Amino acid sequence: MDALSIPLLTAQTMPVLRDIPLPLPLPAVALAAILVLAFLAHILFVDLLLGGSLLTLWAELRGRRDARYLALARAIAATITVNKSLAVVLGVAPLLAINTLYPVFFYPATVLTGRMWISLVPILIAAFLLLYLHKYRWEQLSRRPALRLGVLGLAVALLLLVPLIFLTNVNLMLFPERWGGVRGFWSATLLPNVLPRYLHFVCAALAATGLFLVGWMRRPAYPAAERVPGFTRSELLRLGYRLALVASLAQLALGPLNFFTLPWHGVTWELAGIFTAGLAFALVAMHQIGRELRGPDTGVGRRFWAVVALLSVTVLCMGWGRHAYRENTLAPHRARLLQPAGQPVQPDVSTADRRP
């Protein structure tokens, strides 16, 4: 089954949604601002959790031949559980906001992906326990390196599943016309934009982790020679910058695929302008990273805050653009909510997948 084989419901067969007759606790604009900003704060630490776990796994694999990388893996692993805690705490606000603003759309999507959605709880518990085991039993597990690697590999596999479940669910909520053809979670992953957006997210996690390492290890107070023996501070900073640059270039390749697989009825010129502005700031940031990598060791890291500022604008544009797309896509369905019960539903061609 592919995305096109999941049938569109017609205006006559589409479920007629009814809104919840309760007032919003805050103005819709305020809730939307909370949703976007709180989500961006949450997703930053989710990126650092996932990206840090992937980078630790890579360093530990490479450390089987070069012992320097084992020290690097341990240094990165020390940050993962802290970022995990911040990701969990900061995830409460956007979850509450999306449940408040879009309950009629969000809850049916969770029902349609019910088993996988509810499995998020045991998946996260298991992944977090494995990360703690890997971090706090490093010395004991050093006598069995294959077991330690297996513990981390299983944690990474579980963490990679979590964003796929979330992205599938929030994508599904946008398309009530597709609900009738969804047969569980795995069929929902085949809807347009899920897999390209997932790959784009994984690249973003690696890019954010690379920049985090630069910011963390460039501090004069960070004892690089003690924590990561065998590497100079400039080598560590270049490693982080290279990861950020390569992952950002991968995002550039995936970006058009991500954009053009969006169901077209939610795309506007305004939305394209928002994404283009974010892309422009990202290109400038990558240029600055390139200058850092080409410069002398004594100067590497000097443009770090400029890069962070530029990419922060990119992230704001992407968050704003995603919210604008969500509003555009759900607008015709919200109009249906206002129709009196029993009134015939008029066909709405705007909900069909079509190109301008």
Q: Residue with structure tokens 């990679």?
A: 160
- In this structure, what are the phi and psi dihedrals at residue 186, rounded to the nearest 5 degrees? -70, -30
Nearest-angstrom CA–CA distance, 323 and 313: 15
- Specify whether 217 is located in the same domain as 139: no
- Specify whether 298 is located in the same domain as 161: no
Helices (H), 295-341: 304-337
Provide the residue type at 311 as one letter.
L
- Specify whether 129 is located in the same domain as 217: no
Q: Report residue 175 as tokens.
A: 């398309």
- Specify whether 208 is located in the same domain as 229: yes
Give the pLDDT confidence score for residue 41 in this predicted structure.
95
Q: Collapse the DSSP code of 1 into the 3-class scheme (helix H, G, I; strand E, B; otherwise coil) and give the result.
A: coil
Provide the residue type at 268 as one letter.
T
Number of folded domains that form the chain: 2
Contact 257, 193 (CB under 8 A): no
Contact 192, 263 (CB under 8 A): yes
Q: Indicate whether 11 belongs to any domain.
A: no
- Specify whether 221 is located in the same domain as 329: yes
- Specify whether 33 is located in the same domain as 178: yes
Give the pLDDT confidence score for residue 22 in this predicted structure.
76
Angle between helical axes of 92-101 and 28-62 (0-180°, round to 10)? 140
- Specify whether 161 is located in the same domain as 234: no
Nearest-angstrom CA–CA distance, 12 and 351: 13
What is the model's pTM? 0.88
- Specify whether 144 is located in the same domain as 240: no
- Specify whether 140 is located in the same domain as 239: no
Q: Indicate whether 270 belongs to any domain.
A: yes
Tens digits of pLDDT across the chain (356 residues)? 444 455 555 444 555 566 677 788 889 899 999 999 999 999 999 999 999 999 999 999 999 899 899 999 999 999 999 999 999 999 999 999 998 999 888 988 998 888 899 999 999 999 999 999 999 999 999 889 899 999 999 999 999 999 999 999 999 998 888 888 888 899 899 888 899 999 999 999 999 999 999 999 999 899 988 899 989 999 999 999 999 999 999 999 998 888 888 887 788 889 999 999 999 999 999 999 999 999 888 888 899 999 999 999 999 999 999 999 999 998 887 777 766 555 554 444 444 333 33
Give the pLDDT confidence score for residue 248 in this predicted structure.
95
Residue 179 domain boundaries: 17-183
- In sequence order, which residues have a C-beta less than 8 Å from that of residue 270 and are 6 or more positions away? 324
Contact 244, 207 (CB under 8 A): yes
Give the pLDDT confidence score for residue 297 in this predicted structure.
86
- Residue 107 neighbours by CB distance under 10 Å: 13
203: nearest Cα among 34, 51, 7: 51
- Residue 85 neighbours by CB distance under 10 Å: 13
Q: Residue with structure tokens 């502005």?
A: 277
Give the pLDDT confidence score for residue 23 in this predicted structure.
82
Q: Indicate whether 350 belongs to any domain.
A: no
139, 165, 183 - which closes a domain: 183
- Specify whether 177 is located in the same domain as 199: no
Q: Indicate whether 42 belongs to any domain.
A: yes
Give the pLDDT confidence score for residue 338 in this predicted structure.
67
Contact 208, 51 (CB under 8 A): yes
